[in-house]
Amino acid sequence: MEFRDYYKTLGVERGAAQAEIKSAYRKLARKHHPDVNPNNKDAELRFKQINEAYQVLSDPAKRKKYDELGADWERGTTEEEMMRRYGWTGAPPGGGYRPGEAGAGGGGGFSDFFEHFFGGLGGGFAGRGAGGRAPRGFSGYDISEEPPHGRDIDAEVAVPLRDAMRGAKMRIALNAEDGCTQCGGTGVVAREERRGKMRVIRSAEPCPLCRGRGTLPAHRSLEVTIPPGVVDGTRMRLKGQGGKGPRADLNGDLFLTVRLRPDRVFSVSGRDLRCELPVWDYEAALGSEITVPTLDGRVSLKIPPGSQSGRVMRLRGRGLPGRGKDASGDLLYELKVLAPTDMTDDERKLMQDFADRRRARAVPDPRADLMRE
């Protein structure tokens, strides 16, 4: 069996940290996944090699032995240890694709290590159960002793601004990857027998139901509670609401990101709310008390005499409510002074008289500064 430099396969240095190895693996796995490269044999082979490398380098014990022994790192191991190492053990730490995962269009997808290992145990890798059917009853846990967890799900929910303030219950649709019920989420069905304390795999093959992926697409709806005071980008963790595992305690988690829907009246900046507030020129000039909207009703707001467009009036604590150590936001009204456009003849005469009186008093030209050279 050809020795491969796993560090070179993932494109990292020998002293790379686990986080760097995981990041390199995820990028390469996405790039070379068979679903992204249908009918591309080179990409499929590369994907197998990437998974092989990550399976070893992500395990501190395997990586230590690999670093010490190089090409001889597997020698002297028992069959049971080989099964524990190269069994179909579910997703690597932190998520991602399963080692040897098959593409959507085919039923293969085992690594060369896996084929070599099962092929050397007597039954042959491609062997089937009696009658040519895939053997049943194999959970896949018997090899690794660790049942695979369900996958975590990332999703978004669009929340109206008023629901973000008060809190609400919302129903969302989820696209999940649940563990395959036929293979127990391992991606493998196999026929095994015991030899004393050891389990010997007589034949193994990709699960015909999930095609070796270990998961099946699932679509369901879920009612979620949006707490008061969420802001755009708030990330919520719903434990056990992700992809289903073989048991309820092995379900993945749902990570839900809140996105605030645009509102007709208010814009949002953090927890502050802003509103462009139209006022008539005489309201701004004389001062007035007007009724304005908030997220939870209407209030009175006093406009000081002589107010100009762009002036900001603040209602403290009337923005989005605080959560934890975060204080409540403010509600900000930016004045937009409007001139009337539908005056009657009498109103126009009054306005003209007003303008003549201003000129008679030699009121300064508001554009004088623009004329200076």
Domain-embedded: residue 238: yes
Domain-embedded: residue 321: yes
DSSP 221-263: EEEEEE-TT--TT-EEEETT-SS--SSGGG---EEEEEEEPP-
Question: Which domain covers residue 291, as residue numbers?
Answer: 267-341
HEC letters along 69-84: HHHHCCCCCCHHHHHH
**DSSP character for 130?**
G
Cβ partners under 8 Å of residue 297, min gap 6: none
The answer to whether residues 205 and 254 belong to one domain is yes
pLDDT at 74: 61
Q: How many CB atoms lie within 10 A of CB 279?
A: 21
State the CATH number of the domain containing residue 325. 2.60.260.20
User: Residue 364 carries which side chain, given as an amino acid letter?
Assistant: P
The answer to whether residues 218 and 81 belong to one domain is yes
- 275, 266 Cβ separation under 8 angstroms: yes
Domain-embedded: residue 52: no
Q: Which of 230, 245, 260 is the last residue of a domain?
A: 260
Question: What is the token pair recorded at 308?
Answer: 């100009």
Per the structure, the count of domains in the chain is 2
The answer to whether residues 322 and 181 belong to one domain is no
pLDDT at 250: 86
The answer to whether residues 127 and 184 belong to one domain is yes
Name 235's bridge partners: 257
Q: Angle at the Cα of 205 (from 4 to 212), degrees rounded to 5?
A: 80
**DSSP character for 132?**
G
The answer to whether residues 300 and 249 belong to one domain is no
Domain-embedded: residue 105: yes
Looking up tokens 């009036």, which residue turns up? 313
The answer to whether residues 238 and 299 belong to one domain is no
pLDDT in tens, 321-352: 998 888 999 999 999 999 999 999 999 999 99
pLDDT at 109: 38
Domain-embedded: residue 121: yes
The answer to whether residues 245 and 278 belong to one domain is no
pLDDT at 118: 40
The answer to whether residues 227 and 313 belong to one domain is no
pLDDT at 148: 75
Instruction: For the chain, 373 residues long, give each residue's pLDDT as a single digit of tens.
Output: 456 789 999 999 989 999 999 999 999 988 988 888 888 888 888 988 998 889 889 989 888 888 877 765 665 343 444 444 344 333 333 333 333 333 333 333 334 434 433 433 333 323 333 333 333 333 333 344 466 788 898 999 999 999 999 999 999 998 888 888 888 777 888 777 776 666 666 677 888 888 888 888 889 899 999 999 999 999 999 999 988 887 888 889 999 999 999 999 999 999 999 999 999 999 999 999 999 999 989 999 999 999 999 999 999 999 999 988 889 999 999 999 999 999 999 999 999 999 999 999 998 888 888 888 7
Domain-embedded: residue 70: no
pLDDT at 135: 35
Rounded Cα distance between 258 and 267, Å, is 16
Q: Which of 260, 292, 318 is the last residue of a domain?
A: 260
Q: What are phi and psi of 86, to 5 degrees?
A: -110, 15
pLDDT at 136: 36
Q: Which of 239, 260, 281 is the last residue of a domain?
A: 260
Looking up tokens 């399976």, which residue turns up? 55
Which strands form 267-269's sheet, in the order they lie side by side? Answer: 267-269, 272-280, 331-338, 312-315
The answer to whether residues 200 and 236 belong to one domain is yes
pLDDT at 72: 57
Instruction: Calculate the dihedral angle through the C-alpha atoms of 195, 179, 107, 23, rounding to the nearest 10 degrees.
Output: -100
Rounded Cα distance between 91 and 88, Å, is 9
The answer to whether residues 239 and 297 belong to one domain is no
- 314, 330 Cβ separation under 8 angstroms: yes
Pairing of strands 267-269, 272-280: antiparallel
The answer to whether residues 116 and 192 belong to one domain is yes
Q: How far is residue 75 CA from its own chain's centroid?
A: 41
> If you compute the radius of gyration of the chain from its CA atoms, what whole number of angstroms results?
34
- 25, 54 Cβ separation under 8 angstroms: yes
The answer to whether residues 137 and 213 belong to one domain is yes
Give me the sign of the Cα torsion angle 310, 313, 314, 320: negative
